[in-house]
Each structure stands twice: as structure tokens, then as C-alpha cells.
Amino acid sequence: MRERINLLQGHVAELIAAGEVVERPASVVKELVENAIDSGADAITVEIKDGGISYIRVSDNGCGILRQDVPTAFLRHATSKISTEEDLGHIGTLGFRGEALAAISSVCRVELITRPREEVAGTRFCIEGGSAGEAEDAGCPVGTTIVVRDIFFNTPARMKFLKKNVTEGNSVEGVMQKVALSHPHISFRFVRDGVDKLHTPGTGKLQDTIFSLFGKTVATSLIPVSYQEGYYRVEGFISKPQLAKSNRTLQHFYINGRLVKTKTGMVALEQGYRGVLMSGKFPACFLFVTMPQELVDVNVHPAKIEVRFAAEKEVFGAIYAATRSAIANYSDQTAAALGS
């Protein structure tokens, strides 16, 4: 029998939409840290407990939120980052959908404390499962702190899909590493169950960040990459062949500053190593590809990890050529040093 068609109630629609953004603690951390970066902060601290399932706190020293805007920030499609259709063509911030705070606050208990430079008193605002309290005064420094407790407290079916605390915590730690790598100018600190796990210096030098995250062996086994071809610029580091790993966990690709998963990049990189790496071994990379905004579509997936390229082949070509020339350069230098 055919059922009648009806429009979903607001909160049901909210919960469905939230599912697209909030999958697990790591996705909450990613969204909150991206907001902190967009706020112009140069120091960001993240603390989690129980893998982030019971507690996540993200603090920044960025621009803060005006008191009158605080409740609006939690509405769906509310953003300060774009306003017109044209803006979609050149997105310069990590966020722009205006969905994260709405999604997070519909499936978690959220406490926000914030103060912009131009306001004397800070604001404290609580919202849980979509129901908001009143904005009240709070003494606090300039910047924003968000505490997110009890993810999926009101959606037990989704709660069941979470993995063990340690697995969720590892996933958060992965997010922190990747985000720290893409922003060497920002000092990131990550505390997990009371233990300091990561603290980057924020010097602006990628190599300093790599050193603080992966230690000396990795930091001293890098070949610099600097390559330009047409609209495409490829910069960063790839690993000397002797550092080769048995998996791809040290491969990092950034498109216009945004960490992405890109099969194109991965294949281009690995083909670039042809002849210098044994099969079954994988190179590491920290590659930053810059291209005109209009040649890349970030508007593909709500979690924003996938991107679409207008000219796939050219992206491939640039990464491949950048890798080849960096390796050739390195081999020449090695040969010269050996006196051959």
C-alpha cells in the first residue's frame, strides 16, 4: 500500500542532516578546529577524554563571536564566511556551509564561551540536542572555547556505531596531526586523557612541525619539492627513498591549504618514484598543491575531504613532474657528494 508523502518535522530533518557532518568524535574535532583556524587564531588547544566520546574541548585565541550572533551561529546555513552565490566560486576559508555547529549541537551537549576583542564581557551559551539556553556573561580572554560532551546522547542508534574509546581517540589524533601539518604558522596542542600528545611550535616552518610530530628520522629524510607548471604550484617535501614505509599513512596532500584524499595525487606521487622504490614500499609526502580556486570544487562532500578537479590530468602531471624533478635533483646531489 502506498503511504502518503509528508514533510519531515524540523528536528527529524536536523538529525538526518547532522548525520552527514557528525560521524564520530574525530569529525567534531575536525569541524571545531577548522572554525578555530578560520577565526584567525595562532594558538589552538584541543583536549579530549574517552576518545572524545564524553568530552571534547577546543580553545582558540581568534576573533571570537559577537554576543548578538552567538545563537545564530548554531542555526543551519548560518555562516559569516560567504553570503552570495558568487562567493561559492572562491572560497577562502575551511568552512562555508554553516552546518557544523548546528549539526554538533543537535546530537551533543555544547557549551560555548567566547569574546571578541571589541566586547568587554564574554558570553557563555549552552545548547544541547538542539535546545538552547540564554546567553549570559562570562569572564574570558579574547577567543573562543567550545566544550562538546556526550556525543549522540540523544541518538542511541548512532552511539552504537562508535568504536572503542582508544580507536576513536586515535582517529582524533590523526586529525590533529594532519591539521597541524597544514598550518605550520599555528601552534597546536593536543591533550588526550590528561596526557600531552602533540605540541607544534607554530614557527611557520613545515619542517619544524614535521619534526615535532614525527621525530628526527622523518624530519631529516626529506627532499624539498618546489615546482610550478602553468596554474599549478607544488611545494613541500617528499621522502628520501630509504625512508619508504610499508603503508601510506605518511602521505599528505593539501589542495589550496585543505587536506584532501586524492587518488590522483597518490598515483602521481608513486609513479614519480618508479625505479627508486621497491614494490610494496610507499613514499611519504607533505605536498601542498596550489591552483586557482575555480579549478577545484570543494563542494562535493559535507565532510569536505574529497575534491573534484576541473583538469584531473594537469593535476596529475604537476604532482608527477614535481616528484620526478625533486628525486632527480636529490640523486644528482647525492652523486656529487659521493664524488661520482
Among 51, 64, 95, 236, binds Mg ion (CB under 5 A): 95
Select 147 or 318, whichever has its Cβ closest to Mg ion: 147
Selected range binding ligand ADP among 77-85, 158-166, 232-240, 267-275, rule: CB under 6 A:
77-85
- The DSSP-derived string for 183-232 is -TTSEEEEEETTEEEEE----S-HHHHHHHHHHHHHHTSEEEEEEEETTE
| Closest-CA residue to 246 (of 284, 271, 281, 285) | 281
Cα 222 to the center of its chain, rounded Å: 23
User: DSSP code of 43?
Assistant: E
Among 63, 108, 179, 186, binds ligand ADP (CB under 6 A): 63
Which residue is it, cell 577524554? Answer: 49
Query: Cβ of residue 38: shortest distance to Mg ion, in angstroms?
Result: 7
Which residue is it, cell 607548471? Answer: 229
Q: Examine residue 36 and tell whether it contacts ligand ADP (CB under 6 A).
A: yes
Select 95 or 184, whichever has its Cβ closest to ligand ADP: 95
Q: Pattern 146-165, binding to ligand ADP, x per CB under 6 A?
A: --------------------
Among 100, 223, 259, 287, binds Mg ion (CB under 5 A): 100
User: DSSP code of 2?
Assistant: P
- The DSSP-derived string for 234-303 is EEEEEE-GGG-BSSSTTEEEEETTEEE--HHHHHHHHHHTTTTS-TT-B--EEEEEE--GGGEE-TT-TT
Contact present, 99 and 76 (Cβ < 8 Å): yes
* Interacting partner of 80 out of Mg ion, ligand ADP, none (Cβ under 5 to 8 A depending on kind): ligand ADP
Report CA torsion sign: 244, 217, 47, 205: negative
Query: Cβ of residue 102: shortest distance to ligand ADP, in angstroms?
Result: 6
Report CA torsion sign: 335, 336, 338, 340: positive
Other beta carbons within 10 Å of 294:
10
> Which residues make Cβ contacts (< 8 Å) with residue 300, sequence separation at least 6?
306, 307, 308
* Interacting partner of 96 out of Mg ion, ligand ADP, none (Cβ under 5 to 8 A depending on kind): ligand ADP
Q: Pattern 101-140, binding to ligand ADP, x per CB under 6 A?
A: xx--------------------------------------
Selected range binding ligand ADP among 5-13, 33-41, 162-170, 265-273, rule: CB under 6 A:
33-41
Q: Examine residue 29 and tell whether it contacts ligand ADP (CB under 6 A).
A: no
Query: Cβ of residue 135: shortest distance to ligand ADP, in angstroms?
Result: 14
Q: Pattern 25-64, binding to Mg ion, x per CB under 5 A?
A: ----------x-----------------------------
Contact present, 151 and 176 (Cβ < 8 Å): no
Contact present, 222 and 210 (Cβ < 8 Å): yes
Q: Examine residue 96 and tell whether it contacts ligand ADP (CB under 6 A).
A: yes
Query: Cβ of residue 4: shortest distance to Mg ion, in angstroms?
Result: 37
Q: Examine residue 183 and tell whether it contacts ligand ADP (CB under 6 A).
A: no
Q: What three-state secondary structure class fits 319?
A: helix
Q: Examine residue 210 and tell whether it contacts ligand ADP (CB under 6 A).
A: no
Among 60, 128, 168, 270, binds ligand ADP (CB under 6 A): 60
* Interacting partner of 79 out of ligand ADP, Mg ion, none (Cβ under 5 to 8 A depending on kind): ligand ADP
The cell numbers describing 9, all together, are: 518535522
Given the rule CB under 5 A, which residues bind Mg ion?
35, 95, 100
What residues make contact with ligand ADP under the rule CB under 6 A?
Answer: 31, 35-36, 39, 60, 62-65, 73, 78-81, 95-102, 144
